[in-house]
Amino acid sequence: MVMTRRVAIGLPVLLLADSLGGAETADQRNARMRWWREARFGMFVHWGLYSGLAGTWEGKPVGDRGGMEWIQDRVKADTETYAKRAIPLFQPKPGFAREWARLAKEAGCRYVVVTSKHHDGFALHDSKVSDFDAGSVLGRDLIREIVDAVRAEGLRIGFYHSVIDWHHDQYEYARSKQLPHPLKGRPYPNGARDHAKYVEYLHAQVNELVSGYGPVDILWWDYSAQDFQGQEAWRAFDLMDRVRAKHPAIVMNNRLFRIPEAGFTGMGTDAVSARLDPKYGDFITPEQHIPATGMPGVDWETCMTMNTTWGYSEHDHAWKSDETLIRNLIDIASKGGNYLLNIGPKSDGSAPAESVKAMQAIGAWMKVNGEAVYATAAGPFEKLDWGRCTQKQLRNGKSRLYLHVFDWPKDGRLVVPLANGAGVRARLMASGKSLPVQATAGQISIAVGVQAPDRIASVIALDLDGPPSVAR
């Protein structure tokens, strides 16, 4: 049978699409993406051999900014040297995964994406096609431990999987000028390489990850270059088909490719555009920044570190404040995107104290205001001086706006540029208290009092009898 680009999602009506060899319909895609869109908030985890090195090499800090998960490339070490230093330091404690899962749950995350393999090529699962993996080195299947813990908290699980692989002796790193490699510029130490053999290995390891761990909800690929990407570099379409054959409802990002049709305008973490043909993936991945106007018309997720490194570094103390992290979450949701916020656990799996504190602060805010983030859509206003807005459609044509107030009005009156505000009902999310509303031409004024309930962001719910009409 010819495998279509989209394997039917398994509902009878969807099998028709597959049997007709058709692509997934918009309704089918919306049904598959629904949980992800409603989730809005996930926890990213970067953890591997680099975590034990912690940004230190030969007793000296490699730096105090930037990704220390790249330490092997930053010190230009070959895999043998890197492994010899890093493996003895990588000592996952029992129960590390349960701590992660509980932290994600407490923070209000709905999914967890963990690095099954980063660029160094070390696999966290017990791989039968590699000896550079947790099974061979530790006698443990760390992915199994993580998947079980995440599911036990009722969260969705995703794998970040790097197609770049600095350890594999058939990976032809000279094929790209843009992709990094610790040996770049030097001849292959083992003579001629056959990249097709590496791609076979890549597919075999991905097949292990989508075959042995139950339902996988997200495949977070990373990353391609303009000069080496897609089917040529990774047999990308075959890889996506292989994954979808096992998990028809899985959600995948766009990073197997680096072309305009896949949402890329060049290299660099902000070289993204709101253009995505679903055959290249399901969502766009702005990294370390929030697109100023969101990415209308496509699914997107901003991934971000809490300091400046994805993998743990004992030298990076540039932690973002709770205010910044919570307002990022709100800003992203107000533009219709997801927030994938990273923790970089230490070599034993414990999360840095600063990360725990930040995730707990976010969780405390979400406990009160989560309704204003989960399952919301981008707000209708282009710009609000005092904060952000998310919205929901309610039954029988009614709608609800969530006003996230960052700067509380000193005069106690919050002005909203709503043209059809007559009869609107306002209440404070924190207390449920109703608030008086005056509607005049082209705006409403809500008597909110002079004391903000939350110094970071206070939410007011506005119920309308129809869709909002924004004053021009």
In this complex, which beta carbon is closest to ligand JFZ, that of residue 282 or of residue 287?
287
Measured CA to CA in angstroms, residue 30 lies from 35, 38, 252, 379 at distances of 9, 11, 14, 20
Can residue 67 be called a binding residue for ligand JFZ (CB under 6 A)? yes
Whichever of 303 and 358 has its CB closer to ligand JFZ, that residue is 303
Q: Is 299 left (phi over 0), alpha (psi -120 to 50) or beta?
A: beta
Q: Which stretch binds ligand JFZ (CB under 6 A): 5-13, 184-192, 267-275, 429-437?
A: 267-275
For position 269 contacting ligand JFZ by CB under 6 A, the verdict is yes
Judged by CB, which is closer to ligand JFZ: 209, or 303? 303
Q: Select from 63, 241, 49, 66 the least CA-distant residue to 133.
A: 49
Look at strands 338-343 and 60-61 and give their pairing: unpaired
Site string for ligand JFZ, 303-332 (x = CB under 6 A): x------x----------------------
Minimum CB distance to ligand JFZ smaller for 70 or for 82: 70
Write down the least CB distance from residue 441 to ligand JFZ, Å.
Answer: 48
Name the closest residue to ligand JFZ (Cβ).
Answer: 223
- Residues 458, 323: Cα–Cα separation, whole Å: 12
Q: According to CB under 6 A, which one of 58, 268, 385, 441 is a site residue for ligand JFZ?
A: 268
196 to 225: interface string for ligand JFZ, x by CB under 6 A: --------------------------xx--
Is residue 68 close enough to count as binding ligand JFZ by CB under 6 A?
no
Using the contact rule CB under 6 A, the part of the chain among 26-34, 65-73, 148-156, 436-444 near ligand JFZ is: 65-73
Distance, CA of 57 to CA of 61 (rounded, Å): 6
> Total residues at the site for ligand JFZ (CB under 6 A)?
11
CB of 176 vs ligand JFZ, minimal distance in Å? 11
Give the torsion sign (CA, 126, 128, 129, 135): positive
Is there binding between residue 259 and ligand JFZ (CB under 6 A)?
no
Whether residue 276 contacts residue 262, with contact meaning beta carbons closer than 8 Å, is answered with yes
Q: Which is nearer to ligand JFZ, 67 or 453 (CB)?
A: 67
Give CA 179 to chain center in angstroms. 21
Min dist CB 269 to ligand JFZ, Å, is 5
CB of 267 to ligand JFZ, least distance (A): 4
DSSP 320-351: PPHHHHHHHHHHHHHTT-EEEEEE---TTSPP
Which of 295, 460 has the CB closer to ligand JFZ?
A: 295
Angstrom distances, CA of residue 123 to CA of 136, 162, 403: 10, 10, 44
Q: CB of residue 335 vs ligand JFZ: minimum separation in angstroms?
A: 20
Q: Whose structure tokens read 């903000």?
A: 452
β-pair type (399-405, 387-393)? antiparallel
Cα separation, 369 vs 453, whole angstroms: 12
Rounded least distance, CB 206 to ligand JFZ, Å:
17
Buried b (16+ CB within 10 A) or exposed e, 103-142: bbbbbbbbbbbbbbbbbbbbbbbbbeebebbbbeeeebbb
Radius of gyration of the chain (CA): 24
Q: How far is the CB of 439 from ligand JFZ (least distance, A)?
A: 46
Asked if 423 and 407 touch (Cβ cutoff 8 Å), the reply is no
Pairing of strands 111-117, 156-162: parallel
Does position 300 bind ligand JFZ by CB under 6 A?
Answer: no
Contact 31, 213 (CB under 8 A): no
Q: Is 375 in the site for ligand JFZ (CB under 6 A)?
A: no
Q: Which is nearer to ligand JFZ, 67 or 379 (CB)?
A: 67
Query: Judged by CB under 6 A, which stretch of 62-70, 97-105, 241-249, 396-404 contacts ligand JFZ?
Result: 62-70
- 137 sits near ligand JFZ (criterion: CB under 6 A): no
Note whether 121 binds ligand JFZ by CB under 6 A: no
Name which of 287 and 454 has its Cβ closer to ligand JFZ: 287
In the complex with ligand JFZ, which residue's Cβ is closer, 222 or 282?
222
Q: Note whether 129 and 199 are within 8 A (CB).
A: no
For ligand JFZ, the binding residues in 69-98 under the rule CB under 6 A are: 69-70
Q: What residues make contact with ligand JFZ under the rule CB under 6 A?
A: 67, 69-70, 222-223, 267-269, 287, 303, 310
